[in-house]
Amino acid sequence: MKKKILLLASLVTALAAVGALATSQHAAARVDATCPTVTDGQLTIGTDNPAYPPWYAGGTKTSKWKINDPASGKGYESAVAYAIAGKLGYTKATVKWTYVPFNKSFAPGKKSFDFDINQISYTPARAKVVAFSKSYYDVNQAIVVNKGTKIASVHSIAGLRSFKLGAQLGTTSYQFIKSRINPSQTPSVPSSNAAAVALLKNKQIDGLVVDLPTAFYVTAVQVPNSKILGQFENTAGQATDHFGVVLQKGNPLTACVNKAITTLRTNGTLKKLQQTWLAKATGAPILK
């Protein structure tokens, strides 16, 4: 099996090299041949639809992208994706976005994208199935509540235990509720962001746990009269919750993406992009 992968990898590399030679007149010639992509000379990036702020922004809607077109370069993840693409030698014109539902991003088999960037938290179990890049964002969980409700006056994690909490399916927010808050009522775990937001708006749940930048979007746009009750610290000893881009397990492109992310982190690009797109997502009180 390993042999086959190696063979396949070298074949793909060879093909990419040939492709790079063939298109040596174009910008794609700068692309490193040891970083093969699904389509030669093109970087295919996946994300879920709708693409929500502040991860995707600008409000450019197309018939395909209902809230934001990720190709706008606006929003934190769109900007990071283009920054990575730039480091890999792709121009904006040679980056193609494709719709990848979260559930499909980790399905076995050949992937339709080079990497998927969709607020996917790294966990060791997940990393057994797909390849994760290094962190492009260290994430804190936060809890959003309706103003004026009973939960709105709680100031500690222990105080949250007796309430009906919710988190969207597939997020580490749910794991956080179970392991750190350990509530007395079964939490609500809707499949979509839309349903999660509706449950909070209708007061069918008391509090919604989401990552901090999303919490700011929920309070600013999705649920009027709601507020961020607080954020939770990434405690020492526990692995830091972070987002990584997802690639096919064993994809040699992973090393290339990691190199790009390390550069973007050390040269301050990631920090700058966070200030541009996630600046508001910092000043929430910390719940302990």
Partner 1 sequence: MVNSFSSGGDGRRSAAIALLSTAVFFILIAVAITHAPGWPEVRRTFFNWGEFKATFPEIARAFLLNVKIFCIAEVLILVFALFLAVLRSLQGPVFFPLRALAIIYTDLFRGIPTILVIAMLALGAPALGLSYVPTSVVFWGIISLVLVYSAYVSEVYRAGIESIHPSQQAAARSLGLSHRQTLRRIILPQAVRRVIPPLLNDFIGLQKDTALVGTLGAIEAFQQASIDTNATFNYTAYLSAAVLFVAITIPLARFTDWLVARDRRRRDAGGGV
Name the residues that contact partner 1, by CB under 8 A. Answer: 1, 4, 102-103, 106, 108-109, 123, 125-126, 128-130, 166, 169-170, 174-175, 186-192, 195-196, 198-199, 201-205
Please work out, in degrees rounded to the nearest 5, the angle formed at the alpha carbon of residue 94 by the alpha carbons of 89 and 99.
115
Task: Report, in Å, the least distance between residue 128 CB and partner 1.
Answer: 8
Question: Of 129 and 286, which has the nearer Cβ to partner 1?
Answer: 129
Q: Rounded to whole angstroms, how far apart are CA atoms 54 and 213?
A: 7
Task: Report, in Å, the least distance between residue 75 CB and partner 1.
Answer: 23
SS3 158: helix
| Backbone φ, ψ for residue 224 (5° rounding) | -65, 150
Question: Of 109 and 237, which has the nearer Cβ to partner 1?
Answer: 109
What Rg, from alpha-carbon coordinates, does the chain have? 20
* Residue of 120, 93, 128, 90 lying closest to 104 (CA atoms): 120
The owner of tokens 């993406």 is 257
Task: Report, in Å, the least distance between residue 247 CB and partner 1.
Answer: 13
Question: Of 17 and 199, which has the nearer Cβ to partner 1?
Answer: 199
Q: How far apart are the first and last CA of the chain?
A: 48
Task: Report, in Å, the least distance between residue 8 CB and partner 1.
Answer: 9
Alpha carbon 3 to its chain centroid, in Å, reads 32
Task: Report, in Å, the least distance between residue 142 CB and partner 1.
Answer: 19
Question: Of 17 and 198, which has the nearer Cβ to partner 1?
Answer: 198
Q: Rounded to whole angstroms, how far apart are CA atoms 68 and 271?
A: 22
Question: Of 123 and 267, which has the nearer Cβ to partner 1?
Answer: 123
Task: Report, in Å, the least distance between residue 186 CB and partner 1.
Answer: 6
Q: Rounded to whole angstroms, how far apart are CA atoms 91 and 108?
A: 30
Question: Of 52 and 102, which has the nearer Cβ to partner 1?
Answer: 102
Q: Rounded to whole angstroms, how far apart are CA atoms 168 and 189?
A: 5
Task: Report, in Å, the least distance between residue 190 CB and partner 1.
Answer: 4
Question: Of 24 and 123, which has the nearer Cβ to partner 1?
Answer: 123
Q: Rounded to whole angstroms, how far apart are CA atoms 226 and 219?
A: 5
